[in-house]
Structure 1
């Protein structure tokens, strides 16, 4: 049988309401405590989120300050951009220059005779293209001489029945990548093959020799109609090769191109117009705007961080209130790490700039930073390298023949002595005694191995040479080999007058370089009985410890200088001064901020700890709910038991009252 319980029915008391109130009263103190704790933890998490964002903004402000280029920018100006436009690299010398452009550089241009149709044939044979300085009078069609440019490759292009049309010859020349652009122009009277050298300048004019299959290499029939040399000028010179000529502060300067990069250190002059008698003012000056902007951004972000931390962790004496994180030592520790780095002198710097104060950044009484732009400008003008080293990783050498290349995280800040025990050398080949400079069909070809790369068959032009012209022919032919050229390998050919021999030297340094002549039997020229010498790597120590040489580069392998690299480019063996290495404050500051902000960093650990406290509060609330549920059940049980007793007493009372009222002579209030 089911028992039906009606709470309070027996006593008339609203037990449910009473129990609810008792339960509410019992849990109020705990709820209040948990709510207060939760609000405080949420406020701390929010505050830490704001602080983390401020630290992250400060870290972002370091991005530009990490780059040496930020501190080395130069501004270049021209009083007439239409005549000369200018740009400056970070290594340019500051100064002003008066420039007068008298001539613009020109590329050599030759045009063939006219053809009626693009499919007209030109004959077959071999075109040999050489570059050098041509002495030619176009007015009288007099070809006085040609001096070959040994730095330019010689190209031989075979023309056969598959490519001997006007368009075929054009395409063959372009496919050879020989430094000549071929095109076809219709001048209104016919089609002309036009050859334009890709490089300008007087030393880059084009000489065309033809080995014509018809046996006549100079007439205007067959392939020889493209000849332009001392024996035949069958092509018309429409533009002579010409150097740019200018006066820079009264000094005459020439350039093979109109983009002049060698005249002024770090400065590029783009010549657009020759204006004899007109001077253009060129200026190069420090551009401090990028540095100032970057440092202003850094100061602003630091001050934002300082304000955020102060609001969260400082005590407000006016209102008598402490920040939500006042008792959290971590926030003060994190801020102290940053402040200490900003106030400490950078190790490894040797100039007058070693601290932020030296460039105009000072700390105010409230912990904020201020930037004195005039002091910064003065520091950048007097010691730009020192200002750069204050912020960025930097290496400086005392020997102008040695260049700092870099370091790694293994490299410790400091100054390290350099001792060179062996300078780097180039692999080379020393020929035997030169007895003849004549090249004919018996000695016009050979192969060569340079730096471990074997060339194809190299064929020299037959003829009688002087020592100078033979050097030019050999060097240009070797450097024109497609295999060597494609591997970025080249040589320099010279003549040793003391030993009367040709010498061929790799242009690279180190133990992997070498030159060996192959298939030279009967070559003569002293090259078939020479000696090959392998190159040497630079050797020495950095900071007194062993260093590893690769070509001209020397890298420390031990000690505090480990992984510090330098290039020993000139000079002799012996003690070569020192190289200093510094990291700048940005490197250290970035590491501190990374440690604070990383996924396993201190700020993340703190917020995760606070989140665990929130999770514990949720667990405490769940436990409280269970406790109160049991408490409510206990109260209801107790009140129901009480109600049952009261109901029984009430039932007994009612029974007794009824029995008493039915007794004879029962007393009543009316005494009846």
Structure 2
């Protein structure tokens, strides 16, 4: 059973109230100090949070100024985007152009005759699809000639009982991923195989050759039904391959694609529809709005930051009150670091008239905020966009158009570095032997090659007597580039006939020491007739040279500084460039430095976070002190209760004794005698 305790029963005093009052008197000064300290810490913690938020917003405003590409932005505007749209790169030439879209590029499309069912057989044998320029008159159904496109591969399919249905042929073509799409269309009366070239343009039309298993390659039976060549045109042309034709200021330009990115320097034209006779105006002008807005945001966020600093650390003489962080060393030091960076002169731009923010219309006012002269920035962007970019961002400015600045590392120091090329990057090449015949038969039609380290499958040439060395070179190139293994790895070659030495020359399309062509396997008569024997060609060479006078590392056409102040700078050297290529002026800009300072203040192990962590620990410590105070007051209350209850017990006993004595005294004789005497 629990023990029930009542206080004051003996004396009648409010012992519980007295004890609580004494405990409260003991608690109050300590609790008051704890509450005051906690309020101060919470105010400072909240103030640091406000400052940190302002720093974070300011840091975010740097993002649009750290990429150098944005400072040279150009905008291409079309007067009618339903006809064409356009975009401009930084190397485009500003100007006004009048364009007329006379014809859109189209891909070639062929349809077969009708089949009763998708599962119907199409015949057996081999079917070969080539791409090139077809001279075909659909009105008279006259096939006048075909010129093969050497940059497109050749697809040869063997059809037998496993795949020679209409559906099987469609799937085999699509699985080969060779540049042609196949589909089966029901036109309401029959099923037809429809083939479409994936690429548009007149030189990407489809030619279909067959070797029919029934022995007749031209009749309208068996596999011959799918022939579309000079010997037989059993497929129906549903859409002719054609180039786009665009008139630019009166000059007609053709393109195999409806996207033209080589016609006007730095400008990509996207043709939407043909509208002969209607002219679209294309305007290419500097687009400084994005950078001007970014700089304006940078200035605005800095001024907001300074406003927060003033509110948190300032002093108001009128009210004689200071901010919550008045005299705070961390904020004072952080602001000083920020101002120091923003006032720096950017190194590496000694030959430029633009080297500081003040040169771009950004000046500090008396109250510490920034003033922004937008007109001055716009003028600088028009005169020297690369120079403006160098003030803000990490960038390199090459003196030669044959050099492109690509990248740098933290080790790269600001400065101007000369570029000297001692060895231009070259491609791997294999020179064949003497060519004695243009006839390809079963004894010289197969071979295998390794291009840039990737081994091809067996490559098979079309058996026939070629009209010229160039025609055979085209066939060899198309067959190599059409190999699935090489396509997957990106390996491509060009094949030309060297008439001076009567040989075929196979050259990789990549540059550098990994660029190499090797013939690993040939047919029995390939070497004697075509001059192509098992051999390893001459590997390409990486670019070699110096950056800033120090030997740099070359890889393909990329040159990277390995030592010295330029260490880590990566350049792209145009193919064939050699000798002195001027210099590259490299600048780290102000935004990287400023971001580093802000990062030091904001990161999890930064100054502000450390201060906030310390304040939070102080608040947590006060919480622990409160727990201890409560425990101490509980002990004090119990001790006082015990003492007062003991006193109350004694008082109760004394009172009981007094009452007893009073009663006894009242019964004594002298009390009665005294009463009688009266």
Normalised by the length of structure 2, the TM-score is 0.86
Task: State the 1:478 CA deviation.
Answer: 0.7
Distance 2:635 2:171 in 1: 97
Which region of structure 1 is more displaced relative to structure 2, 30-39 or 602-611? 30-39
Task: Report if the CA contact (8 A) 2:521-2:534 is conserved.
Answer: no
Q: Match for 1:481 among 476, 483, 487?
A: 483
SS in structure 2 of the partner of residue 105 of structure 1 = coil
1:517: which partner in 2?
Answer: 519
1:303: which partner in 2?
Answer: 303
Distance 2:625 2:102 in 1: 90
Cα gap change, 1:637/1:214 in structure 2, threshold over 3 Å: closer, same or farther? closer
Distance 1:216 1:457 in 2: 27
2:674: which partner in 1?
Answer: none
Which region of structure 1 is more displaced relative to structure 2, 87-96 or 174-183? 87-96
2:404: which partner in 1?
Answer: 403
Task: Report if the CA contact (8 A) 1:74-1:90 is conserved.
Answer: yes
Cα gap change, 1:616/1:196 in structure 2, threshold over 3 Å: closer, same or farther? closer
2:241: which partner in 1?
Answer: 241
Distance 1:405 1:37 in 2: 55
Which region of structure 1 is more displaced relative to structure 2, 441-450 or 65-74? 65-74
1:254: which partner in 2?
Answer: 254
Task: State the 1:451 CA deviation.
Answer: 1.5
Question: For residues 528-576 of structure 1, what are the alpha-carbon distances to aligned partners after superposition, in whole Å with 9 as ceiling and x for unaligned?
Answer: 2766211222222222333222212122222222222112223443332
Distance 1:149 1:634 in 2: 106
Cα gap change, 1:468/1:331 in structure 2, threshold over 3 Å: closer, same or farther? same
Task: Report if the CA contact (8 A) 2:520-2:535 is conserved.
Answer: no
SS in structure 2 of the partner of residue 233 of structure 1 = coil
1:472: which partner in 2?
Answer: 474
Where in structure 2 are the equivalents of 1:72-221 lying within 5 Å?
Answer: 72-221=72-221
Distance 2:63 2:439 in 1: 64
SS in structure 2 of the partner of residue 489 of structure 1 = coil
Question: For residues 600-631 of structure 1, what are the alpha-carbon distances to aligned partners after superposition, in whole Å with 9 as ceiling and x for unaligned?
Answer: 21112222333444455567777878998999
Cα gap change, 1:457/1:28 in structure 2, threshold over 3 Å: closer, same or farther? closer
Where in structure 2 are the equivalents of 1:336-485 lying within 5 Å?
Answer: 336-349=336-349, 351-461=352-462, 462-485=464-487
SS in structure 2 of the partner of residue 274 of structure 1 = coil
* 1:287 aligned onto 2:290: no
SS in structure 1 of the partner of residue 61 of structure 2 = helix
Where in structure 2 are the equivalents of 1:509-658 lying within 5 Å?
Answer: 509-520=511-522, 521-523=524-526, 524-528=529-533, 532-614=537-619
Distance 2:461 2:634 in 1: 106
Task: State the 1:6 CA deviation.
Answer: 9.8
Distance 1:298 1:500 in 2: 66
1:278: which partner in 2?
Answer: 278
SS in structure 1 of the partner of residue 106 of structure 2 = coil
Question: For residues 173-215 of structure 1, what are the alpha-carbon distances to aligned partners after superposition, in whole Å with 9 as ceiling and x for unaligned?
Answer: 2232222222334445544333221212111111111111122
Cα gap change, 1:503/1:610 in structure 2, threshold over 3 Å: closer, same or farther? same
Distance 1:138 1:14 in 2: 119
Distance 1:576 1:311 in 2: 54
Which region of structure 1 is more displaced relative to structure 2, 302-311 or 290-299? 290-299
Cα gap change, 1:20/1:536 in structure 2, threshold over 3 Å: closer, same or farther? same
1:668: which partner in 2?
Answer: none
Aligned residues: 664
Which region of structure 1 is more displaced relative to structure 2, 74-83 or 484-493? 74-83
Which region of structure 1 is more displaced relative to structure 2, 470-479 or 460-469? 460-469
Distance 1:130 1:415 in 2: 52
Task: State the 1:418 CA deviation.
Answer: 2.0
Distance 1:13 1:214 in 2: 127
Task: State the 1:381 CA deviation.
Answer: 2.5
Distance 2:6 2:295 in 1: 80
Question: For residues 461-495 of structure 1, what are the alpha-carbon distances to aligned partners after superposition, in whole Å with 9 as ceiling and x for unaligned?
Answer: 12233021011011001111111112111111112
Task: Give structure 1 stretches of 5+ with no counterpart.
Answer: 665-671
Distance 1:403 1:342 in 2: 29
Q: CA RMSD in A?
A: 3.8
Which region of structure 1 is more displaced relative to structure 2, 35-44 or 151-160? 35-44
Task: State the 1:496 CA deviation.
Answer: 2.1
Task: State the 1:238 CA deviation.
Answer: 3.1
Task: Give structure 2 stretches of 5+ with no counterpart.
Answer: 671-677
Cα gap change, 1:37/1:528 in structure 2, threshold over 3 Å: closer, same or farther? closer
Question: For residues 2-34 of structure 1, what are the alpha-carbon distances to aligned partners after superposition, in whole Å with 9 as ceiling and x for unaligned?
Answer: xx9999x99x99999999888877877666555
Question: For residues 71-106 of structure 1, what are the alpha-carbon distances to aligned partners after superposition, in whole Å with 9 as ceiling and x for unaligned?
Answer: 454433222222223333454433221001222212
Task: Report if the CA contact (8 A) 1:431-1:531 is conserved.
Answer: no
Normalised by the length of structure 1, the TM-score is 0.87
Question: For residues 480-527 of structure 1, what are the alpha-carbon distances to aligned partners after superposition, in whole Å with 9 as ceiling and x for unaligned?
Answer: 111111211111111223322211011111222211112224202121
2:673: which partner in 1?
Answer: none
SS in structure 2 of the partner of residue 245 of structure 1 = strand
SS in structure 1 of the partner of residue 575 of structure 2 = coil
SS in structure 2 of the partner of residue 302 of structure 1 = helix
Distance 2:141 2:194 in 1: 18
